[in-house]
Chains A and B, each alone.
Chain A
């Protein structure tokens, strides 16, 4: 059973465009929602994260939008650049105890110059 569903599986965007990746979850016990960026040959690296008491968080060109009632959250990459080409994973963590995130299946983003 996949607890965090991510879409699309792949995304192609032109330089300067907006990249949008969506995730949905079922477990209402999740209390922390990070996004990771993974380049080939590297481990995932934290990009941006949000808690469910906030509807939006922005860091530079990266924005998370969070809809608690719909149990959905999304990553928006504004002014997408070729250097943003990577695989992006959403994740979710259950509150309390050790930090063990559940990951989505990933979105392969390609930004054409």
Chain B
């Protein structure tokens, strides 16, 4: 069974640029959630996708957007990057309706300069 994978591992962008982060969910999982983890903080929920539709959103501005594909993989897009967007971005997958638990990927470390 393949776990949650994310790419890239690290990324450096300039303020104002756009970035796309990718996530492949664990086999058998149909739900993907994205989190932002600032240094020294717990993960903050960005949004969740289920069956290619957004299924919940945290307190993040619209420049944070996402997609889920038919194979349940997902993308997180961030436009107009700000310095405060520097963080570890975590993807987690789960089976909607079957489990309370999410399984996290290793994350993408984004640095905005």
Hey, which bits of chain A sit against chain B, CB under 8 A? 6, 32, 34, 41-46, 49, 89, 91, 93, 97-106
From B44-52, B60-68, B78-86, give the one contacting chain A.
B44-52
Q: List 27 A-B contacts (CB under 8 A).
A: A32-B100, A34-B100, A41-B106, A42-B106, A42-B107, A43-B90, A43-B104, A43-B105, A43-B106, A44-B104, A45-B103, A46-B101, A89-B43, A91-B42, A93-B100, A98-B31, A98-B55, A99-B101, A99-B102, A100-B58, A101-B45, A101-B102, A103-B43, A103-B44, A104-B42, A106-B41, A106-B42
Q: A98-B50, A98-B55, A100-B48 are in contact. Are A34 and B101 (CB under 8 A)?
A: yes
Residues in chain A near residue B96, CB distance under 8 A = 98
Shortest C-beta distance, B22 to chain A (Å), equals: 15
Q: Are A45 and B100 in contact (CB under 8 A)?
A: no
A68 and B82 alpha carbons, distance in the complex (Å): 41
Of all A-B residue pairs in the complex, the 10 with the closest CB atoms, nearest first, are A43-B104, A103-B42, A89-B42, A44-B104, A105-B42, A103-B43, A43-B90, A98-B56, A43-B106, A43-B105
B87 within 8 Å of A (CB atoms): no
Q: A32-B100, A34-B101, A105-B40 are in contact. Are A98 and B48 (CB under 8 A)?
A: yes
B4 within 8 Å of A (CB atoms): yes
Shortest C-beta distance, A91 to chain B (Å), equals: 8
Apart from A44-B43, A44-B90, A49-B100, 17 more pairs, CB < 8 Å: A41-B106, A43-B104, A43-B105, A89-B42, A89-B43, A93-B100, A97-B56, A99-B101, A100-B33, A100-B45, A100-B58, A103-B43, A104-B42, A105-B40, A105-B41, A105-B42, A106-B40
